[in-house]
Structure 1
Amino acid sequence: MENELTNINEIKTKIVNLSATLSLPKGTEAFISDIHGNNDNYLNIIRSGAGNISRKVEELFNGRLTTLNQKKLVCLIYYPEEILNKNNQEITDQDEFEQWHMDTINSLIEVLRYVSNKYPKDIVEKALDTKFRDVIGELSSADLKAEDKQAYYREMIKSIVKLKMGDSFIIAICHAIQKLAIERIHILGDVYDRGSQPDKIIQHLNESWQNFDFEWGNHDILWMGSLAGSKLCMLNLIRISARYHNLDLLKEAYDIDLTSMMKFASHSYVPLSNFESKVNIAGSTNEAQNLDNCIQQAAAIMQFKLEGQAIKRRPEFEMDDRLMLDKLSLDKKTITIDNKTYPIKNGCFQSINPANPYQITHSEQTVIIDLINQFTHSNKLNEHMWFMLDNGSMYLKHNGNLLFHGCIPVDSKGNFSKWQMDGREYSGKSLCDYFEYILKDGLRHPTTGDCFNSDLIWYLWSGKNSPLFGKDKMATFERYFIDDSKVQQEQMNPFFELSKEEWFADKVLKEFGLNSRGHVINGHTLDADILPIRANKKMVTVNGLAENNDIGGYTLLFDSYGMWLVTLKSFISRQKVIENMSDVVLDKQIVEHSSERKTVSDTDYGKKIKKQIDKLSAQLNL
């Protein structure tokens, strides 16, 4: 009987806690995209809460701290280890040293309390370092102005400093503030390619964050597809890595040995100007740059050959315009496209047989087999790609908004593009669902053979009906070999032009079962004439690394009062941010604002809580 009463009391206590949670303010969501392996830039955005932390510090200390001291506090929160190391070298007087620590801890506790006000106790505790959880928890939840306990709290902070725990304590508070400034991170595609540390971004999310999701981008697909056994995805991946002087990532992070490719490429190709690296790496030798140049050529030629084979296998892809090698002249110095002949710039077609241009040579086949077996058996790649698969999707419906990376393919009139596959027709939402099914099936049943799943996963990278790509073609061949901007041009899907129209935004939302009060939020690189906010503020595009002069891209915040598009400052380096005490925010623009705060009750999480309350209440016959 006593156990029954205890259970009833536990149920009632749970209902009380859940009901109270519904009244808390909605947590802040951050939307970022196109990280492309730039871990320092990614961390700069995340540590700053995409500008949310500096805003909180300004609200809290306006009139109490000078602008300079606010900047110092904000920079400490972003980079506590570096700032503390700098201060420890500069402050030599012991009394001054201890006073700085005590003042700083008091300020940080205020910030922590401010950012944690909208969370229940258990969420706040998860953000705290276990070594200091009890002390930080007590200080952050206490009334520091309460007369009876002022001496108690003061002595607690003083003891932390005297025992030389001040630095560790400050670091723990700063990390907790970073985690609580953002309730959920939405990564709208392209974690991978170009930058050298995508693995560290995955590792950070896995180890340091609680709520996040991926909406896959086409660059992510290359890595996921390589794990699934797609040789085409793998060759594109290697080519791009060589183009951005980034091949060390494969060896150091994923234990991929490129020796066979290095030997083949250096023996078969010579450096060409059209295959020079897209980045300048300090300390890189000419020998290393030349090797990357040759590897890029080797991967590109093998890629073009295998693309031709896949296109001929899959006429339903409608990619015949990507068949380039059979359009070369016999001397391989010109190419004829749409009845117009163009000179070839720095060709490297020595392995191409004019009688069978898409045939892989024996030497190429040996390299491809060696590499694809390594990709499919890489433990770390397996771990990271499944992490992205388990925490990601082609699109996400969250709190009334639709999230995805690229576009929803449409024709010029805004009708969802229809695609026939497997005897069925797919468009809009069903097309996205179909691609997601194929991708998951491909990773569950990897094969290095030329199978349907592998071909379709590669199509997601560059096919005109791929929601992740959003263009009519991937003009890789033309950009390498044809010096003509018209033939290099890639036409954006009509989705992007139509996304300026409110009726179209409503149509997309309706297709995915959402009402017109929501927003379509995607991550991509837009043409200069398309603004990030469109369609009467119903369409928003974010791109966290769209470097353009002083602009470092865009991110989006969605808090209890509404939505803000944040224009990011151009990011140079972590060192420069610390030296200049630079904030991440260049400008802010209101997308949506309400004087009445949204609460947890208004969110998807709130709906789950209400169902849980109903279930618990049913147990009590309420």
Structure 2
Amino acid sequence: MKKNLNQPQENELQYLQLLSKTFPTIADASTEIINLQAILNLPKGTEHFLADIHGAYESFQHVLKNASGNIKRKVNELFGNQIRDTELRDLCTLIYYPEQKLEMVKLVEEDINDWYHITIHQLVTICRDVSSKYTRSKVRKSLPKEFSYIIQELLHEHSDDIDKAGYVTAVIDSMIETDSADDFIIAIAHVIQRLAIDRLHILGDIYDRGPAAHKILNLLTHYHNWDIQWGNHDMLWMGACAGNDACITNVVRISLRYANLTTLEEGYGINLLPLATFAMETYKDDPCLEFIPKTSGGTGVLDEKTVRLIAMMHKAISIIQFKVEAALIKKHPEWKMKDRMLFNNVDYDKGVCTIGGKEYAMKSCLFPTVDPKHPNVLTKEEEELMKKLHHSFTVSEKLRNHIELLLSHGCMYNITNNNLLFHASVPLNDDGSLKEVELFGGKKYSGRELMHHTGLLVRAAFQNDSSEAMRDFARDYFMYLWCGPDSTLFDKSKMATFERYFLEDAETHKEYKGNYFKMRDNEEVVDRILDAFEVRHPNRHIINGHVPVHAGSGENPIKANGKLMVIDGGFSKAYHKETGIAGYTLIYHSRGFFLVQHEPFTSEEDAIKRGTDIKSFTKIVEMSSHRMLVADTDIGDDLRGQIEYLKKLLYAYRYGWIKERG
């Protein structure tokens, strides 16, 4: 052995010894190198980007099932010239909702065995197409155990091969005879759905407005590959779970504002009876006109008695919210939010509120629980109510499980395949430079460091090993993240909740956006942000949600010469009138970026019975100069690193530094 051979360093040798347990021979290591190099040359997997789902469970679920129209496009490409439009719709519906569609088919189909043969052949063809960009190993891991072998056999056999046609027919006949054809169809439909989307990125705001955020998180609990960049509405619920009373009151208020009690009561078991009892007693003589709930978020028609009760509860929790928020604002003068303690500014005799030295007329001064001398102090009854609500939120096991899911899959930002993802903004100074924001201990951060340390602070609220002072600050800080002027999740002058409820002058309702939103169409500013986050690739982007794009008014979601994409198109019904559409999906596959604009989804029942689908319009955002491969992605970088270490392991085997185990 030559003396000048480079023996691995001790720490590297330890890693190679660990690696040798997985690849104990030269043959094993060589085979894995060949496998990984082959994977590098497969087409890039399809990424889906969604933002601001806001409880719109049915629409969200359908978008996942149809892969934002991608499955329908594949079905049309494969069978568009072979079968009628009605049959194409039925086949798509079968893939989206196999259990329900099978029940309908068996009621009307005269020759069910013939239907099974035709349909299974079609589903296998579609599955073969969507699986073509993956390794056999990855496809195999996506298959249900009970049908894994059969699906693998059918995927790699073609019925047009005369020698194999009998084999394929016999397999299908056997499934029909053993009454397992339905289960097989359900299984392969779910495989198609799974393989059509390689990774799902959610850019925040699963919660609020729509009626079923808890169902979305139940679905994500079992979803194969996803991540989330937390939004301000998610942060509100995280804060409520952590025990921040200001967040708890905001969560309840927003739920009442949109008449959405399902998530609170059915989803998480939050007991609202004490609030209802308190509200009926305290506000029984108050018309609460400004607190009539909005019902455009998906809630059905409410009777007059229910609307009246919700309005009283809505006002009751709103008054408590302003008091609880004032206590936190007073506790944290560094937030510079003293101007939001507006009960201090009300002249209850004159019926005016003074803001910026100017008096504004109040819509109402019926505040039976507000003491003008101490306007931000809770009454004994309000204190008792808050204790009950606090307990209900902090002991909810279902809520805790969902917040832990957000923590395990989420962060403030993500960088993936040269795309910088975050929900709302990066705080900027007036000149477009990165703005420093104060966090725990008086330390100030900007840009990437701000995002990173904010994320650590969020997690500290749930960690027992954090210091008591840090946990206390972290719990409080959820409120600032929700509505603080320099919050990366808000970035506006104020949240004008008080003004909208109580002041006549609409000018006071305006919330002025921060510099990021004013400058995000400036390519130079966007480049500066990307540089600060060390996203260096020439083909790089920022992808955001948070602020709805008014597509109906002609606003373009693509900004800064294509370097920034805003994909909040308003999934929730509460936003449809504002945006003119029903959400966006940004798709990034091997050919480039495509923005899919959705029209409102009617219902799951319509989709199953009548084959209706979300009508979508696709816009090409950016085409790649070549078909992107796994080698062009972050996974490709990881695989090249693995290959490099496997080569070092081979080297160590061959020169005797590590012994083969085979």
- Classify the TM-score, shorter chain: over 0.9
- 431, 449, 474: which one aligns with 2:450: 431
Q: Within 5 Å, which residues of 2 pair with 1:440-519?
A: 440-445=459-464, 451-515=472-536, 516-519=538-541
Higher mean Cα deviation, 396-405 or 497-506? 497-506
Q: 5 Å matches for 1:445-594?
A: 445=464, 451-515=472-536, 516-526=538-548, 528=550, 530-543=555-568, 545=571, 546-548=575-577, 551-594=581-624
After TM superposition, give the deviation of residue 578 of structure 1 in Å.
3.5
Shift of 1:61: 2.5
Alignment equivalent of 1:612, drawn from 638, 642, 649: 642
- Kept in 1, the 8 Å contact 2:581–2:598? The answer is yes
- Indicate conservation of the 8 Å contact 2:228/2:411, yes or no: yes
The one of 357, 374, 378 equivalent to 1:339 is 357
Shift of 1:279: 0.9
CA distance in 2, matches of 1:198, 1:184: 20
**Which amino acid in 2 is paired with 1:517?**
N
Show the 5 A alignment for 1:211-610.
211-270=225-284, 271-279=287-295, 281-282=299-300, 284-331=302-349, 333-421=351-439, 422-445=441-464, 451-515=472-536, 516-526=538-548, 528=550, 530-543=555-568, 545=571, 546-548=575-577, 551-610=581-640
Secondary structure at the counterpart of residue 547 of structure 1: helix
SS of the aligned residue for 1:552 comes to coil
**Matching residue's letter, 1:392:** G
Identity of aligned residues (%): 37
Letter in 1 for 2:112: F
**What secondary structure does 2:73 align onto?**
helix
* CA pair 338-527 structure 1, distance change in 2 beyond 3 A: farther
Quick one: which amino acid aligns to residue 493 of structure 1?
Answer: G
**Unpaired runs of 5+ in structure 2?**
1-20, 653-662
> What TM-score does the superposition give when structure 1 sets the normalisation length?
0.94
Aligned partner of 1:183 among 195, 198, 210: 198
Alignment CA distance shift 1:427-1:595 (3 Å): closer
Q: Please point out which of 159, 165, 177 is paired with 1:144.
A: 159
CA contact (8 A) 1:297 1:348 kept: no
- The CA deviation string for residues 155-197 of structure 1, in whole angstroms up to 9 with x for no partner, is 2112222333222221111111111000000011001112222
Q: In the aligned structure 2, how far is the partner of 1:131 from the partner of 1:332?
A: 75
- Quick one: distance in 2 between partners of 1:494 and 1:304? 27
Alpha-carbon displacement from aligned partner over 1:547-572 (angstroms, at most 9, x marks no partner): 24862121100001100011112123
Deviation (angstroms), 1:448: 12
Cα distance in 1 between the residues matched to 2:113 and 2:133 = 32
The corresponding residue for 2:217 is 202
Q: In the superposition, relative to structure 1, how do residues 179 and 4 fare at CA in structure 2: closer, same or farther (>3 Å)? A: closer
In structure 2, distance between residues paired with 1:97 and 1:450: 62
Label 1:562 to 1:442 Cα distance change in 2 as closer, same or farther (>3 A): same
Q: In structure 2, how many angstroms separate the alpha carbons of the residues matched to 1:166 and 1:543? A: 41
1:587, distance to aligned residue in structure 2 (A): 1.1
In structure 1, distance between residues paired with 2:598 and 2:557: 13
Q: Provide the C-alpha distance between the structure 2 equivalents of 1:305 and 1:346, rounded to a whole number of angstroms.
A: 17
Match of 1:119 among 130, 134, 139: 134
* Residues 31 and 188, structure 1, Cα contact 8 Å, conserved in 2: yes
8 Å Cα contact 2:56-2:212 kept in structure 1: yes
CA distance in 2, matches of 1:248, 1:262: 15
State the alpha-carbon separation in 2 of the partners of residues 366 and 451 from structure 1.
Answer: 22
SS in 1 for 2:256: helix
C-alpha spacing 1:84/1:612, structure 2 compared with 1 (3 Å): same
The equivalent residue for 2:660 is none
SS in 1 for 2:622: strand
Aligned partner (choices 72, 76, 79) of residue 97 of structure 2 = 79
Is this contact kept in 1: 2:549–2:566, CA < 8 A?
Answer: no
Match of 2:58 in 1: 40
C-alpha separation between the residues in 1 aligned to 2:187 and 2:527? 45
The CA distance in 2 between the partners of 1:433 and 1:6, in whole Å, is 39
Counterpart secondary structure, 2:534: coil
Q: Deviations over 1:265-289 (max 9, x none)?
A: 2211235121111116436443333
Change (3 A) 1:112 1:4: closer
Q: 1:480 & 1:552 partners in 2: Cα distance? A: 27
Equivalent residues, number: 616
CA deviation map 1:418-450 (0-9, x unaligned): 223433221121221221111110122498999
Task: Judge which range, 10-19 or 226-235, deviates more.
Answer: 10-19
Question: What is the Cα deviation at residue 598 of structure 1?
Answer: 0.9
Q: Determine if contact 1:470/1:492 at 8 Å carries over to the other structure.
A: yes
Q: Describe the shift of the 1:453–1:595 C-alpha distance in structure 2 as closer, same or farther (beyond 3 A).
A: closer
Q: Is the 8 A contact 1:272 1:346 kept in 2?
A: no
Letter in 2 for 1:502: E
CA 1:596–1:242 in structure 2 vs 1: closer, same or farther (change >3 Å)?
same
In structure 1, runs of 5+ residues without a counterpart are none
How far does the alpha carbon of each residue in 1:52-111 deviate from its partner, in whole angstroms, 9 at most, with x for none? 1122222222423344432332222112222222222222x2xx2221221111111111
Q: Does 1:170 align with 2:185?
A: yes
Three-state SS of the structure 2 residue aligned to 1:48 is helix
- Tell me which residue corresponds to 1:106: 121
Q: Would you say the 8 A contact 1:229–1:448 is kept in 2?
A: no
Give 1:182's aligned amino acid: I
Q: CA RMSD in A?
A: 2.3
Cα distance in 2 between the residues matched to 1:54 and 1:99:
23
CA distance in 2, matches of 1:571, 1:550: 13
User: TM-score, length-normalised on structure 2?
Assistant: 0.89
- Structure 2 CA distance for aligned equivalents of residues 494 and 287 of structure 1: 45
SS of the aligned residue for 1:31 comes to: strand
Q: Which amino acid aligns with 2:273?
A: T
